[in-house]
Amino acid sequence: MTERLQLKVICILCASLWLTCVVAFAQQSRNLTPAQLQIEKQQQRLSSSDPEERRDALMRLGSMRQAAASRAALPGLQDESAIVRATAVKSILSIGSEDSAAQLLPLLNDKDEFVRRETAYALGLTHSRSATAALSERLLNDKEDGVRAAAAVALGEIADEAAVVALASALAPELSAPAKKKQKREPNVFVLRAAATALGRIKSRAGTAALISALSNEKIPSDVRREAARSLGLIGDPAAVPALRAATTAEDPFLSEIAHQALKKLSRG
């Protein structure tokens, strides 16, 4: 057989192999559902060198709200780009509450503030109590107020009574810190408000003292005091009545009305 003929035979064999692969792929594609095809397409995009394309693929997978799509999004949690990791945290939630929490918890220690913040919010959406301890630690110790506020919001979503101590400490540190020890961190209004709201969602009387302290403190912003009054109404502890009565005469009309409504709830309870 001449060299030219050998080359021709090789080309024919290669073409035949390529055609076989194309046919096999087409047959496989016809057996996939539209959702499966979409997942496969977005998985391929996760290999792109463009972070924005990977991010868009994760958003599309997350919007499908299917366990298979969320499983396909899991590699995004390890992406080199912070914005991609931050996008991935909500894209994996459809794999289930406990599985999602287990995957997300390590990212609470991510070096990027935005990733930690978005992870905290995502953990709140899982409603998994397995995240309570780690979120409480972030609330009390993270150096970024945005992360701390997100942790407080998430703890309110989870509504685990085990978080009350951390939330109360964030809202009224003077009640838990040693008298001679000065607080190193200036209070942040977003953290305070989120903590007050979360305590109301948990509805534990263990949070009453911190809420009363916040409500009675005229030095903190009015919107924090409003949330404290609202939460005291939700908890329904009679110990809050004197502080709520005092708040009904506040100069802030919104605070006064919220305190009045909270007292009504307590009287009905």
Q: Per residue in 200-223, pLDDT tens?
A: 999 999 999 999 999 999 999 999
Q: What homologous superfamily does CATH list for 55-158?
A: Leucine-rich Repeat Variant (1.25.10.10)
55-158 against 175-269: fold identical: yes
The structural domains of the chain, with segments of one domain joined by +, span 55-158, 175-269
pTM of the model: 0.85
Token representation of residue 15:
């073409």
Q: Which DSSP category does 180 fall into?
A: T
| Among 126, 205, 131, 220, CA closest to 164 | 205
* Mean pLDDT, rounded, for 218-233: 96
Say whether 247 sits in a helix, a strand or coil. helix
Q: What is the mean pLDDT of the chain?
A: 90
* Mean pLDDT, rounded, for 132-149: 97
User: Would you say domain 175-269 falls under CATH 3.40.570.10?
Assistant: no
pLDDT of residue 27: 47
| pLDDT beyond 70 at 13 | no
Instruction: Identify whether the C-beta of residue 92 lies closer than 8 Å to the C-beta of residue 70.
Output: yes
- Phi and psi of 249, rounded to 5°? -105, 10
State pLDDT tens for residues 48-74.
Answer: 999 999 999 999 999 999 999 999 999
